[in-house]
Chains A and B, each alone.
Chain A
Amino acid sequence: MKKLIAGAALALMALTGTAQADGHNYPDRPIMMMVSYGAGGATDFQARIVTMTAGNEDALGMPIAIINKPGAGGRVGWNWFATQAEADGYTLGAYNVPHFIAQSIKGGVDYSTDSFEPIANWGADPAVFVVAANSDMNSMADVIDFAKANPGKLTFSGAGLFVGHHIAALQLEKAAGVKLAYIPNKKGGAGAMKAVIAGDVMGGVNNLSDAFRAQAAGTVKILGVFDVARNDFLPDVPTMMEQGYDIDNASVNFRGVMVPKGTPQAVIDKLAATVPEMFKNGRVAGKMKAGGSPMHIMTREEVQAMWAKRQETLTTLLEGL
């Protein structure tokens, strides 16, 4: 028995002993990536696709395994990542902007943009405004006209509070100067979409990728995109700006990879150089396109700039809420 324990201890030491990460032999064992949403959601689904080639020799040479820490709109996962995750390069995390930034401004969480080091961005999913396929409204002007005639009566769904959809809703209210009834849905984007299709609400803010599929299925109409430019998936749908509402891309759901603050610089450099290239893999692009998930690859420097800008916009927007 003693021998067995000694053997097990030796084996453990062998496993952990080499875990010291420096730029040279990193990574020498599989890497874990935390996703703060449940399995099967858009973030989880995309994270699995973009990391599927990590094991290739021209990428990291080691596979990335996804673990889910869902709860409280992502707060549980990001709290864990900021306070408990090992900063050794073997624990990556997926970020969602504006979610985690908006939550940190609102308070009650253990993280802010200073708790994390961005590595690279893989996707940008703008919010869109949808109405049911049988709705009388055919443009944002119709929506706003109704809202102006019936202040506070236009019900529209979204995935919760302090997420991209909520930000988009706030921007729309501000830009159009009307009062709307935003109905956050406890079941997230899918629940919010169901509320639109079933007619529980008059319209909704939802993810472009999900709305694109719903429109293809013939259940909704997409009236406008909350982004600075039209999207490749929906070349015929005008942006909010084109329809006369001063709304930028603050609500666009940027998804990417980060590590906890305190990760060795050599590891960050290696990841920052490799990961964006890994996202460019043709198979990844194919799967993402098939899934209707818009890709938007950004390097570490670009993401740092984007985080800083978002921090500024959201602080102003969420003031007084």
Chain B
Amino acid sequence: MEFLAWFGPVFEPWSMMLLLIGTIGGLILGATPGLSPTMAVALAIPFTFRMEPVHGLILLGALYTSTVAGGAVSAILLKIPGAPANIATTLDGHTMAARGEGRRALQLSFISSLIGGVIGVFLLIWLTPVLAQWALAFGPSQLFWLAIVGVTVIATLDSKSVVKGLLAGCVGMWLGTIGFDDIIGAQRFIFHPSLSGGIHIIPALIGLFAIPQVISMFAKGRTASDLQSAATPRDALSAQASGVLGAGLGWISSIGASFVEVFKYGRSLSIGTLVGSIVGLIPGVGGQIAGLVAYDQSRNFSKEREKFGTGHPEGIISAESANNAMVGPSLVPLLTLSIPGSPTAAVLLGGLIIHGIFPGPDIFTFHPNVVWPFINSMLLGQVLMCFFGIIIAGMVAKIVKVHHSTMAAVVLALALFGSYSVQLSMNDVFIMLCLGTGMYFLERWGYSAAPLVLGLILGPIAEGNFVEGATIAAAQNGVFEYFLRGTMNKVLIALALASIAYAVWISRRTQAHGGQS
């Protein structure tokens, strides 16, 4: 309960102001495609140079929390995931928003983020010493198998058919091998100089999700039937907007309804939070796949499995509770062992060191005056994030009413800006456009972007850890012994097999029921 004693510094006026700036700024940065949490924190670090350590870290903590949640805004409204953490949110979130229920989707996402996030921070507060050892249990062999478990998710993720899902996943893994490989010291698949740095995940994400949409929006043109269809969802919103008082009341009751809905789907909320916390702990994998794994698991356990992908609340709740639940635990290895578990944590490590704070097991003994307010600020940041998120949701949800010819131009501009800003490189913009155009055709043939992106993320993790493990194994007892020994490896292999069996069972059942695939 020591953390309670350190709430004082957070409530000082200057700290509160920074907390507000961090939260609101983070929501806006997070909602901008291409500005990932890592970048937002990296951009803010120079501003903390002149601050007291405690103030600097409050700002960084608030930013980290709210950029992760802010990523849901563009995922839901524009179908562009702000960061890999938000990929799963697009699957149901955007479908729901396209139905004209953007506000509901955003409210669900912020409320689930709040709950997942708060639980995640409490895990950080109470279980840090225990969890730190757990994080270390993942060596190269375990991380390899974990990535393989992730790969098996591909088969059933957002695809009409298992085969198409797997094919898309393979293409993604192949894309992940492009670039200069440092371990074997060779160039792989560099057909053009712009590919020498490999394919960065953020531009790929933007291209694969945003560009197919832009093309189909332009392709639709301005037809009469289309104007009509754009008008239909407008009715639902304008009905609520009739009269300021009516709108205000409608707004408050809709928030209440969203809260009730989140708790109604308690199972998805718990699965999301649990998966997010566990995956968040593991150094090197972190938040990138937390959302997708949680989405997949909560679908497997859901009674309304068929509704996933059609704008189903459970899809949003599990994905968003998972990616915010990951925030707290991802700091466990950083604070206690000085091992940054995620790219964002690596940047935060820089922020800590610059103020002379060296993370380590005794950080809570030596620097309680900085670390506890930092953690508390994340706790408070979650609440503020949800509050402002819901306010913003009310304002920006109307975006879906914008006519799609205008929308296409805006999304294209954001996609260009977002992919350029990651590394200030035009190469990324070209890669983004090429991948996006390719994806447009793939989508027409029934493939989808999510398994492809998952392949792109997991391929390098699986490969890197396999190569590392194999090199170590070569100096010891051989590859088989190294990758198959130990309880953790066996559990992960069993999980992967179970996941494949499930995919086969589902596809058999769909066929038996006369499904199209």
- Residues of A bordering B, CB below 8 Å: 38-41, 44-45, 48-49, 52, 67-73, 75-76, 79-80, 106, 108, 152-155, 160-162, 181, 183-187, 190-191, 193-195, 197-201, 213-214, 216-219, 287, 290-292
Contacts and interface: CB of A to CB of B under 8 A. Distances in A.
Contacts of B472: 155, 181, 183, 200-201
Given A71-B198, A197-B337, A40 B284 contact: no
Contact of A72 (B49, B140, B196): B196
Interface stretch (B16-24, B175-183, B399-407, B485-493): B175-183
Interface stretch (B68-76, B311-319, B349-357): B349-357
Nearest to A181: B475
Given A154-B475, A197-B136, A69 B361 contact: no
Interface of B: 38-39, 42, 45-46, 49, 136-140, 179-180, 182-183, 185, 187, 196-198, 200, 283-284, 337-340, 343, 346-350, 353-356, 358-362, 423-425, 460, 464, 467-468, 471-472, 474-476
A271 to B, nearest CB: 21
Contacts of A184: 182-183, 468, 471
Contact of A75 (B196, B359, B360): B196
Nearest to A40: B347
Given A155-B475, A194-B283, 5 more contacts: A69-B424, A75-B180, A79-B196, A161-B185, A187-B284
Given A48-B45, A48-B46, A73-B182, A41 B346 contact: yes
A194 to B, nearest CB: 5
A72 B475 CA distance: 26
A75 B186 CA distance: 12
B293 to A, nearest CB: 21
B179 A213 contact: no
A97 B137 CA distance: 35
A45 B182 contact: no
Given A39-B39, A48-B46, A217-B358, A190 B474 contact: no
A71 B339 contact: no
A136 B69 CA distance: 46
A70 B423 contact: yes
B423 A69 contact: yes
A40 B42 contact: yes
B252 to A, nearest CB: 41
A198 B256 CA distance: 47
Given A71-B196, A75-B196, A218-B360, A40 B182 contact: no
B355 A290 contact: yes
Contacts of B338: 213-214, 217, 219
Contacts of B468: 183-186, 195, 200
A67 B424 contact: yes
13 contacts: A38-B346, A39-B38, A108-B187, A154-B475, A160-B182, A181-B471, A186-B183, A186-B464, A187-B464, A197-B337, A198-B137, A198-B139, A199-B136
Nearest to B359: A217
A49 B350 CA distance: 11
Contact of B360 (A41, A45, A217): A217
Contacts of A49: 354
Most chain B beta-carbon contacts within 10 A, residue among A71, A79, A161, A287: A71
A265 B467 CA distance: 47
Most chain B beta-carbon contacts within 10 A, residue among A160, A161, A183: A183
B339 A197 contact: yes
A162 B424 contact: no
A287 B354 contact: yes
Contacts of B464: 186-187
A76 B180 CA distance: 9
A154 B471 CA distance: 11
B182 A290 contact: no
A52 B49 contact: yes
A48 B49 CA distance: 10
B296 to A, nearest CB: 26
A193 B180 contact: no
Nearest to A192: B468
Contact of B182 (A44, A72, A214): A72
A75 B361 CA distance: 36
A290 B353 contact: yes
A195 B46 CA distance: 30
B52 to A, nearest CB: 14
A199 B142 CA distance: 13
Most chain B beta-carbon contacts within 10 A, residue among A155, A162, A217, A287: A217
Nearest to A283: B49
A153 B474 CA distance: 8
Contacts of A38: 343, 346
A36 to B, nearest CB: 10
Nearest to A289: B356
